[in-house]
Amino acid sequence: MAKKRKKTRSKQKFPVEADLASPDLYINRELSWLEFNDRVLREGLNRGLPLLERLKFLSIVSSNLDEFFQIRVAGLRQQVSAGARTRDICGLRASEQLERISARVHRMVKRHTSGLREVIGELAKQGLCLLTMDELDGHQQAHAINYFTSHVLPVLTPLAAEELQPFPLLRGLELNVAVLLNPKMGETSKPKVAIVPVPKSLERFLKLRADEIQEIIRIEDLIAHHVGLLFEGHVVVASTVFRTTRDADVAVDDDDVSDLLEEMNEKVHERRRRAVVRLEISADADQRLKEWLMQWTQVDYRDVYEIDGMLDARALMDIATAPGFRHLKLPEWRPQEPQDLVGAGDDLWRIIQHRDILLCHPYESFDPVMDLLNLASVDPDVLAIKQTLYRTSENSPIIDALAHAAENGKEVTVLVELKARFDEARNVTWARRLEDAGCHVIYGIAGLKTHAKVLLILRQERGHGIRRYLHLSTGNYNDRTAKLYSDIGLLTCNRDLTADASAFCNLLTGYSEEIGWKKLAIAPTGLRQRFFDMIEREIGVSTLGQPGLIIAKINSLQDKGICQALYRASQKGVRVRLNVRGICCLRPDIQGVSENIEVISIVDRYLEHARVFYFRNGGHEEIYLSSADWMGRNLDRRLEILFPVVQPDLVERLLGMLETYFADNVKAWRLKSDGTYVRVKTKGKPVRAQEKLYNEAVAAASSPERAPVQYRSLRAKTAK
Residue 441 · residue 429 · CB < 8 Å: no
Number of Cβ within a 10 Å radius of residue 131: 19
Three-state SS across 183-228? ECCCCCCCCEEEEEECCCCCCCEEECCCCCCCEEEEHHHHHHHCHH
Three-state SS across 522-591? EECCCHHHHHHHHHHHHHHHCCCCCCCEEEEEECCECCHHHHHHHHHHHHCCCEEEEEECCCECECCCCC
Number of Cβ within a 10 Å radius of residue 300: 9
Catalytic residue at 451? Answer: yes
468 membership: H or E segment, kind and range: strand 465-473
d(CA 603, CA 664): 11
Report helix angle 94-125 to 51-67, nearest 10. 160
Residue 530 · residue 641 · CB < 8 Å: no
Catalytic residue among 226, 451, 471, 609: 451
- DSSP secondary structure string for all residues of 668-704: EEEE-TTS-EEEPPP-SS---HHHHHHHHHHHHHH-T
Q: Is 169 helix (H, G, I), strand (E, B) or coil?
A: coil
269 membership: H or E segment, kind and range: helix 260-270
Residue 572 · residue 14 · CB < 8 Å: yes
With CA atoms as reference, report the closest residue to 341 among 704, 96, 613, 714. Answer: 704
d(CA 360, CA 486): 7
Phi, psi of 643 (to 5 degrees): -135, 145
Query: Which residues, in sequence order, are CB contacts of 170 under 8 Å at separation 6+?
Result: 176, 195, 197, 244
Q: Please, how many CA atoms are within 13 Å of residue 333, restricted to the half-sphere of its CB?
A: 23
Q: Is 249 helix (H, G, I), strand (E, B) or coil?
A: coil
The residue type of 191 is P
Report helix angle 94-125 to 74-81, nearest 10. 150
Q: How far is CA 534 from the centre of its chain?
A: 27
Q: Which residues are catalytic?
A: 451
